[in-house]
A and B are shown apart, each in its own frame.
Chain A
Amino acid sequence: MIKETWKEPWIKYLAALLGKADMEYNTAVFFVFLAVFLCLYFLLRNPTLKKRWILVGNLGFYLWSGWAAAGIVAATAAVICWTARRMEKIYRGFEEEKTGLSPKEQAARLLDYKKRTKKYLIGALTAVLGIWIFVKLGRFLGFGTAETLSEAIKNKGIIVPLGISYYSLSSIGYLLDVYWRKARAEHSFLDLFTVMIYFPHIVQGPIGKYETLLKQLKALPAFEYRRVCQGLQLMLWGYMKKMIVADRLVLYTSAVFAAPEDFAGVEILLAVLLSVLQLYADFSGCMDLVRGISQAVGIELAENFRQPLFARDAQEFWARWHITLGAWSKEYIYLPIAMNPRFARMTNRMKKRGRKWLASFLKAICPLTAVWLFTGLWHGTGVDYLVWGLYWCALMTLSKETAPLLNRLKTFLRVEPKRKAYRVFQSVRTYLLFAAGRTFTVAGGLAGCGLLWRQLFAGSRLWTLFDGTLYTHGLDQKDFYVAFAGIALMLFVDYLHERGISIRERIAGQKLPIRWAFYYGALFSLVVLGIYGPGFDAASFVYGAF
């Protein structure tokens, strides 16, 4: 059909095309953007120019989501930069004063200084958290998103700066680090702004520490074939996970979760089980691809996944899944509460009064609950996410509290914890617990969760696996085969990683034809088997909406 743009001259037409296109990691526009960005980047020699070129790239990427959003981020960055410098300036006074004082006097002086810096800290935190909470609240109340200020006012929408959940956390961490004197304040606004909206991590993390990133930004390495090649390989692998496995599985799972009442038994079970793999492929795929891009640039981003599906229990799972979020909440929520002098005094008093168990229980559960309520709310604003957070909190507490009991049971049953079979059992158990947790949120709130569980036991519908009905809900038989092959490959790669084998090093050690076969295989399996193109609305990355 003829399109509106038929009359436009070429320049305007192309501008219209680009203007309409979304800038996401799996869109054509991003590929073009990335190709231009990297090619020019590799041509640059001067470190400062390289830094600024990265900033230009970041801005190009960020501005695609609107000027207003970029304005908010820039303002936030300015506040953070200024506050950090301010705090550091105050602490410099302490540094000058402390020489010659006894440690006790030093501590007293420091408290004084801390009080002075605290004002700034609270001011900046209020600003950062304020915007974030405002956006979250706006979402919760169902306001639409707007791109410009006038639009926001006219349509009562909210402007959601891209990656607000990620840069807010990082910024808070940075401010607190400076306040705690763990990190030094950055003096160059441009550099800070560059790492803050660094395009590989702005959309979905990993939630990095600005200090490490700044250090790398200030010492960008020269072009190195091996590093760039490996970075691009990692990127390709990420795309494969995302476009071949995750986007394929989501066709089935979303069909089921959109209308659970039309499915039952094994269909629901399969959807719930696959949704874990889909989420894993999606999120870790995205992490691989952004880490790959960043590696090519010369900046190592923090690792966010370490083969989580091999985790033996909930504790370990969360140490392997979305690592940077866990690390952040441990550092800035768990520890501050657990180490809080008042809290410590309270539990100690309890202990003295003979309530030993309660004291240790409270000591464990209070910070944990805080962490999980925060994690739940970070993922989403509904009650379902709160419940989801509490679910994990309860699981962890339970596993900790029942550990002695279980150990006795194990000796009674003569279970050998070192056996492979037992390890597999543990991993499967963790997988199922995670899958159960997913049910709280995937079907649209708690009501959907109830429906999902009811339908799960409403009937077996086992025959749908055999009579072809399964293949009519968005994924046909061949697609299932491809998805399962992709999953198998993914797990195999994880298994190799678990055993400490670096696949990219291994590939690099091969002869050229074999190396190239790997590259071409990955590239063209992506072209052929990837889910993309017109007629298909590319599923955006699951974690991109935060």
Chain B
Amino acid sequence: MRWKIIRAGRAILFSLLACVIFGGLSLLFQPEWLEWNNYDTIHGFYEQPENTVETVILGASVAVNGFTPMELYENYGICAWNMATEQQPVLASYYWLEEAYRYHPETLKTVVMDVSMLRSIPQESFYQKAIMEMRFSENKLEAIKACTDTFDEFLAYVFPIFSYHTRWKELNSTDFQIFDYSANASVRGYNLVTDKVLDYTAYDEIGIPGYLPDEEAGRQLLKKEALLYLKKIIQFCQEKDLQLILTKTPGSSNWTDIAHNAVQTLAEEYGLTFLDFNYSPYLEEVGYVEAVDSWDKAHMNYHGARKLTDWFGRYLTENCGATDVRGMEKYAFMEEELSEYKRYTVSTRLNGITDPGEYIKAVMEMEDYTLLISVRDDGANRLLQTQRDAFAQLELDQLAELSYRSAYLGVVENGQVVYEESLPAEETQQSARSTAGMDNDLDTVETDLEKELLKKQMESEESRDEAGPLEYHGRLSDGTPYTLTSGGAATGDLSSCVINDAEYSKNHRGLNFVVYDNRNSRVVDKVYFDTCMYTSRTSKNLQDALEEALDGGVDPESLTGQMRSLYLYLNRAEDSYKMKSLRQRTEDLGGAGMLSCLKETMQEEEYLILLAVQGDAASLLGEEEREQASQLGLEKLSQLSSGASYLAVIDGGNLVTEKTDPEGAAVTEAGSFYQVSSSGTAQGGAASIRVNGVECSYGVRGMNLAVYSRTTKEVIASFAFDTIN
């Protein structure tokens, strides 16, 4: 009997241990899905105190990047959670909504849902990504039931190791960190992206201020499965008295008019709110500028997310009765999270600093950060004395004394300089290379060559001893080991900052900075200041910087780099919208249209207007038009006779030249970059407007018109007012 009990006990112990090992392996093989913040979103959600979340955001990656709930709290006191995941199927959105309600039934009030995924059914793996890490519950089982129909799949969802055991060959260090990996709940599901601002030369129609969807374009057929679960979401919200807001984040490459029309019709039919930020007026209200607020024309970066979130904060407060929870005892944890969030997003504030000295100072003034500095190639060439003084004031003495092409390493921990070393570039190497004063003597060439080789050998031995990149091994205050390396132009030409086997240095010429958050053990910013070529850098908060510069009276012509690109982009967008609406209002109205078009464009100082008649334009002009033309100062136009040739050049509203020939003989006018010519019916009837060698005239019988902007130095529109009709 005793033996039996022992046997049974052993069997139970064996099974228990097997379960433990099985569980451990399951965790090991479960992919981390750190991208798109997936891990933090799901695990952080479960860490929240129950009955706190009031607004939940559902949707795909564009929503992950588009809403930063912590800023909703900071500015409006709204407690929200961004529950969106990469390519989240609407099916998963629905079950996550249920999950959110399960944990926050008393407080949940509004549901914001991005509608991108109504159009597409993602691959199986995204269902897994969205559902697998949900806590085991009846709700999860329902979700699994909905998307599996074989026993193997069902088991694989319940025990993920059945589908992920094949990952044994790709396991890496992150997989093994699983036991001490804690969720970053302070971002509340938001995924921070900052460093991708595009240089813009082109833009799409969607996303231009004032653009409205083309209602006649038709409606896209949305996916049945997505619609089914949208219906379930709608029903669920009605049942539980939640307010559902459909939305589409701005992003021109991610959206189309037909998709908008489809969702809009749906929304109207079911009485839902649909806020599409790709179109007027929401686009302008948010102030979205694709060139700086997006990183790939589909996903917003931090700047865009901040604008959109701010708009939503106002909207939720004004229209949805959002509660301001700031100061409430129950929400005290949010204050802590907020300061965490501030630490996490510190780079967004540091991005605005253009001077290296100020950057260092800013980092030194913050609590519990370590700044790691290394120089690559050269960091001294363009340093100003004032900057050197500033370094000296911060007690970075060697940095203040940095010489041309020196290697340099510095570590500033918690405001204190803990390590500094520089290695000046060797002077001798440069003189050794000089060959001036030597003879091309065939008699002594052998001995010379021998000497030279010997010298080289000795030099290389020397340099092996002394020169070479500077290297420093240290430990951060949380115990993490790091290695800093710096090589000047002649001593390796590199910068490296390796923390826990990962490289963080931008490895760019000049000063390379890595900022490490000691409290949360993570790198929060990595930047460079190319002090070999420039004394300061361009602010990464480009839109703010541009506004500041223009307000400060900087001549737009002298803008460079990304600032110039952005300036041009903004102007182009503005011109493009103006021209588009002008065309809609005038082009089909014949002579009257032509004159109102002229009148409007002549009001702009930056525009150069080029006019050329092909064949005949007199029939466009009635009494009224001729009078208006003369009011505009276009005397020859007001008296244009039938079959006459005509051209005009108007610069910033002032007439430069106006030529006509009543017989229709060809007239031409050439400026520094343009050429205009016109001939009447009798003489061939041709019109040409060439700007920088490119033909811009439509070549239509009647009046041809091109508008050139002096700001962007481009032809922004061509018009044609024909006499055929």
Contact = CB atoms under 8 A, between A and B. Distances in A.
A533 B156 contact: yes
Say which size band chain B's interface belongs to: 20 to 34
Contact of B149 (A16, A478, A519, A528): A16
A21 interface: yes
A44 interface: no
Contacts of B124: 1
B163 A534 contact: yes
B272 to A, nearest CB: 22
B149 A17 contact: yes
Interface string B23-39: 00100010000000000
A179 to B, nearest CB: 46
B524 interface: no
A17 B169 CA distance: 31
Interface string A507-542: 000001000100110011001111011111000000
A28 B149 CA distance: 14
Contact of A528 (B7, B25, B163): B25
Contact of B147 (A1, A479, A512, A528): A1
B121 interface: yes
B155 to A, nearest CB: 6
B118 to A, nearest CB: 14
Given A17-B151, A28-B151, A478-B169, A2 B228 contact: yes
Interface in B133-167: 145-156, 161-163, 165-166
B331 interface: no
Interface in B1-60: 7, 10, 14, 17-18, 21-22, 25, 29
B152 A28 contact: yes
B149 A527 contact: no
A408 interface: no
Given A1-B127, A21-B150, A478-B169, A28 B22 contact: no
B673 interface: no
B313 to A, nearest CB: 35
A476 B149 contact: no
Contacts of B152: 21, 27-28, 533-534
A1 B17 CA distance: 36
Contacts of B14: 516, 519
Contacts of A3: 146-149
Nearest to A29: B151
A382 B124 CA distance: 41
A27 B166 CA distance: 17
A4 B149 contact: yes
A231 B666 CA distance: 105
A534 B166 CA distance: 11
A5 interface: yes
Nearest to B224: A2
A246 to B, nearest CB: 17
Contacts of B29: 528
Contacts of A27: 151-152
B223 to A, nearest CB: 10
A40 B10 CA distance: 20
A10 interface: yes
Contacts of B17: 516, 520
Contact of B25 (A29, A476, A512, A524): A524
A270 interface: no
A391 B700 CA distance: 87
A221 B156 CA distance: 38
Contacts of A495: none
B162 A533 contact: yes
Nearest to B123: A1
Given A524-B25, A533-B165, A533-B166, A20 B18 contact: no
B145 A13 contact: yes
Contacts of B22: 524, 527
A13 B156 CA distance: 16
Contacts of A180: none
A20 B7 CA distance: 38
B146 A2 contact: yes
B163 A17 contact: no
Nearest to A481: B169
B88 to A, nearest CB: 14
Contacts of A2: 91, 146-147, 225, 228
Query: In this complex, which of B162, B166, B228 has the most chain A Cβ atoms within 10 angstroms of its Cβ?
Result: B166
B168 to A, nearest CB: 5
A5 B149 contact: yes
Nearest to A18: B151
A249 B91 CA distance: 39
Query: In this complex, which of A520, A527, A532 has the most chain B Cβ atoms within 10 angstroms of its Cβ?
Result: A527
Given A1-B121, A527-B161, A528-B168, A10 B127 contact: no
A433 B83 CA distance: 63
Contacts of B147: 1-3, 6
Contacts of A10: 145
A466 interface: no
Interface in A23-39: 27-29
B163 A535 contact: yes
B25 A527 contact: yes
A225 interface: yes
B709 to A, nearest CB: 50
Contacts of B156: 533-534
A240 B156 CA distance: 20
Contacts of B10: 512
A481 B162 CA distance: 22
Given A3-B148, A10-B145, A20-B151, A528 B121 contact: no
A76 to B, nearest CB: 31
Nearest to B152: A534
Contacts of B155: 28
A357 to B, nearest CB: 61
Nearest to B11: A225
Interface string A21-63: 1000001110000000000000000000000000000000000
A536 B228 CA distance: 30
Nearest to A9: B145
A17 B225 contact: no
A535 B147 CA distance: 15
B586 to A, nearest CB: 51
A533 B149 contact: no
A532 B161 CA distance: 11
Contacts of A479: 169
Interface string A210-225: 0000000000000001
Query: In this complex, which of A29, A530, A535, A536 has the most chain B Cβ atoms within 10 angstroms of its Cβ?
Result: A535
Query: In this complex, which of B121, B148, B152, B162 has the most chain A Cβ atoms within 10 angstroms of its Cβ?
Result: B152
A163 B370 CA distance: 72
Interface string A487-522: 000000000000000000000000010001001100
Contacts of A536: 166
Contact of B7 (A225, A476, A529): A225
15 contacts: A1-B124, A1-B127, A2-B91, A2-B228, A10-B145, A17-B151, A17-B154, A20-B150, A20-B151, A21-B152, A520-B18, A524-B21, A528-B168, A532-B162, A534-B163
Given A4-B149, A532-B162, A534-B152, 20 more contacts: A3-B147, A5-B145, A6-B146, A17-B149, A17-B150, A20-B149, A21-B150, A476-B169, A520-B17, A520-B21, A523-B18, A527-B22, A527-B165, A528-B29, A528-B168, A533-B152, A533-B156, A533-B163, A534-B150, A534-B153
Interface of A: 1-6, 10, 13, 16-18, 20-21, 27-29, 225, 476, 478-479, 512, 516, 519-520, 523-524, 527-530, 532-536
